[in-house]
Amino acid sequence: MLAAILYGPNRLELTEIERPAIGDDEILARVLAAAICGTDFRIVSGKKTRGIHYPSIIGHELSGEVVEVGKKVLEFKLGDRIGVAPIVPCRKCLYCRIGLENVCANRQAIGYEFDGGFAEYVRIPAVALESGNVVRLPDSIDFEEAAILEPFACCINGQKKANVSAGDTVLIIGAGPIGLMHLMLAKARGARKVVSSELFEGRRRLAAKFGADRVVDPAVESLIDVAKEETEMGFDVAIMAVGVKDLVGDVLKTVRKGGRVSLFAGFPEGDTSVIDPNVIHYNEIIVTGASSSTRQNFIEAMQMVEYGMVNLKQLISHRFSLREINKAFDVAKSAEGVKILIEP
Ligand SMILES: [Zn+2]
Ligand SMILES: [Zn+2]
């Protein structure tokens, strides 16, 4: 089969390899769509190395069709259409036991420890089947939507932590794929007003198209002024969908007393931010993080798409064949695309 093998930083090479053999309690799926995640180009460019080994096949946002079923597998059959929640929790560590399996101490993931979706076929390891990480897709969800359920599940995790609720005013910083997903999700959760802040004009247009009540160019307008104009006392919630260290201090000042701030995006390793701790202290601000998603978040994401609460499909801007994967990564790196799919 054809696979994009990552041999090292900036060495993603198309290689013809053996189709993976499966064990009795595993399945093999033909990959029908695999999306490029922001994490993937951090991995390819060598900025992220944790959990990565070489050579390997990355790609953790994927969907496919079952083409081989191990003897002992009862719950899947040939031809089943599947979606994959990539993070496989150990289900035993402290975090798993207290409901934080997304930060499991022994987590393994498809597209990291296990070979992922940038190939014609993917082996689903026994442990992923056992833990219910693979789901049969409802008929109303196509392979393309299924491939982008994972990042949406991560947004659900983030907004639950920041408690985005009906009637809230929400500021979302960044209108890349994740910022746009947060926008749709906040609306679906009943936010009364959502303001998107984004440097790139093309992305500001998308935010307006996808329902932002106001779109702001942070190079021209101050977010603190916008908060004063658009809300009585400040936003109920601010979500940072970009990891820009110098913004954190200001973002804390855009929310009202008792407001919530989600540092959703990761920051480049080693970055530190200067903040005024009294803003958090006197304003009783709740600051939360968000890392990855749980199997439950994945099911919730699937149900929201199934019942038409969000239209993720409109985020797909480019489709490439596996042979064009390096071109696809170039587009992903530029701010020109939104969600980019590889369709082997
Ligand atoms: Zn992802
Ligand atoms: Zn665990």
Is the previous residue joined to 344 through a cis bond, with omega within 30 degrees of 0? Answer: no
Instruction: Give, in order, the Cα–Cα distances in Å from 264 to each of 158, 241, 248.
Output: 6, 6, 11
Give the Å distance between the CA of 150 and the centre of ligand 1.
Answer: 6
Sorting pLDDT into bands at 50, 70 and 90, what band is 42? confident
Task: Collect residues with CB below 5 Å from ion ligand 2.
Answer: 89-90, 93, 96, 104
Cβ neighbour number for residue 280 with a 10 Å cutoff: 14
For strands 81-84 and 61-69, give the pairing. Answer: antiparallel
C-alpha 131 – ligand 2 centre gap (Å): 12
DSSP type of residue 166: T
The token duo for 193 is 């007003």
The token pair at 343 is 């369709």
Question: Does residue 152 sit in helix, strand or coil?
Answer: helix
Tell me the CA–centroid distance for residue 39 and ligand 1, in Å.
6
Q: How far is the CA of 291 from the centre of ligand 2 (A)?
A: 14
Q: Which ligand gives the minimal distance to the CA of 106?
A: 2
Q: Would you state the structure tokens that stand for residue 335, as one six-digit string?
A: 């701010």
C-alpha to C-alpha distances, 146 to 82, 121, 126, 138, 196, nearest whole angstrom:
8, 16, 21, 10, 25
DSSP-based three-state secondary structure for 136: strand
Res. 289: pLDDT tops 90: yes
Give the residue among 65, 62, 64 at the shortest CA–CA distance from 34: 62
Given pLDDT bands bounded at 50, 70 and 90, which one contains residue 48?
confident
Query: What is the rounded CA–CA span in Å between residue 23 and residue 13?
Result: 27
Alpha helices in 173-309 (DSSP H): 177-188, 201-209, 223-230, 248-252, 277-283, 295-306
pLDDT in tens, 204-257: 999 999 999 999 999 999 999 999 999 999 999 999 999 999 999 999 999 999
From the CA of 93, the nearest ligand is 2
Ligand 2 centroid–CA 242 distance in Å is 28
Closest-approaching ligand to the CA atom of 107? 2
How many other CB atoms sit within 10 Å of the CB of residue 106? 12
CA 294 to centroid of ligand 2, rounded, Å = 11
Which residue, chain included where needed, has tokens 């936003």? 235
Q: How far is CA 78 from CA 32, 34, 65, 308, in A?
A: 15, 20, 8, 28
Mean predicted lDDT score pLDDT of the chain:
96
Is the pLDDT assigned to residue 271 strictly greater than 80?
A: yes
From the CA of 298, the nearest ligand is 1
User: In angstroms, what is the span from residue 26 Cα to ligand 2's centroid?
Assistant: 21
| Per-residue pLDDT, 182 | 98
Q: Are 177 and 241 in contact (CB under 8 A)?
A: no
Q: What is the pLDDT of residues 190-207, one digit of tens each?
A: 999 999 999 999 999 999
Report how far ligand 2's centroid is from the alpha carbon of 95 (Å): 6
Domains in the chain with CATH codes: 2-152+293-342 (3.90.180.10), 163-289 (3.40.50.720)
Ligand nearest to the CA of 99: 2
Residue 68 CA to ligand 2 centre (angstroms): 29
- Please report the pLDDT score of residue 283 as a whole number: 98
Residue 62: its pLDDT value, please? 98
Closest CA to 236 of 163, 160, 155: 163
SS3 category, 244: coil
